[in-house]
Amino acid sequence: MPMSQFILGGARSGKSQRALELAEGTGDRRTFIATAEAWDEEMAERIARHKTERGAGWSTIEAPHDLVSAIHVAAEQADVCLVDCLTLWLSNLMHQDQDIALETEQLCDAIAQMPIPIILVSNEVGLGLVPETPLGRTFRDAQGRLNQAVARVCERVEFVAAGLPLTLKS
């Protein structure tokens, strides 16, 4: 298994399931780093459903903002780390007016130094319509830059569509 894998895809494309499948075959101690926050009932239900889908054998670290620290913790306690997803993490950072370029650089450094396999999941948001609002366009552009930076540092990159993985980099 490559030390770092990046799984991209659209909403409901199967990217999270693909990442889980990759991680399941890697050691007994698996850490899931969750970046989502339950701001409403629908999101709370979605988070609960995803926890159930993962099943036993997973520890979870909630890291909606400080992803790099969570990755360092996972490196000390797990055989494999799965981060799902970078899109929500980016959104959380933007809502806090964080320095996205600096956070991206720190994330890429953490990925490159990871002593255990790490799998990261992110949405590909640049394939659709141009967002109507300036904030939407700013987010789309930041997501594209984040995805490019992570893809450069990861050993393997896949794009998932309709549940089918397509290798972009190996």
Q: Catalytic residue numbers?
A: 50
**Cβ–Cβ under 8 Å, residues 8 and 15:** yes
Q: Are 33 and 78 in contact (CB under 8 A)?
A: no
The CB density around residue 104, as the number of other CB atoms within 10 Å, is 20
Token readout for 84 is: 């799902």
- Picking from 141, 131, 132, the residue whose alpha carbon sits closest to that of residue 101 is 141
- For residue 130, the 8-state DSSP code is P
Beta bridge partners, 16, equal: none
* Cα distance from N-terminal residue to C-terminal residue, the chain: 11
Residue 131 CB partners (closer than 8 Å, separation 6+): 137, 139, 140
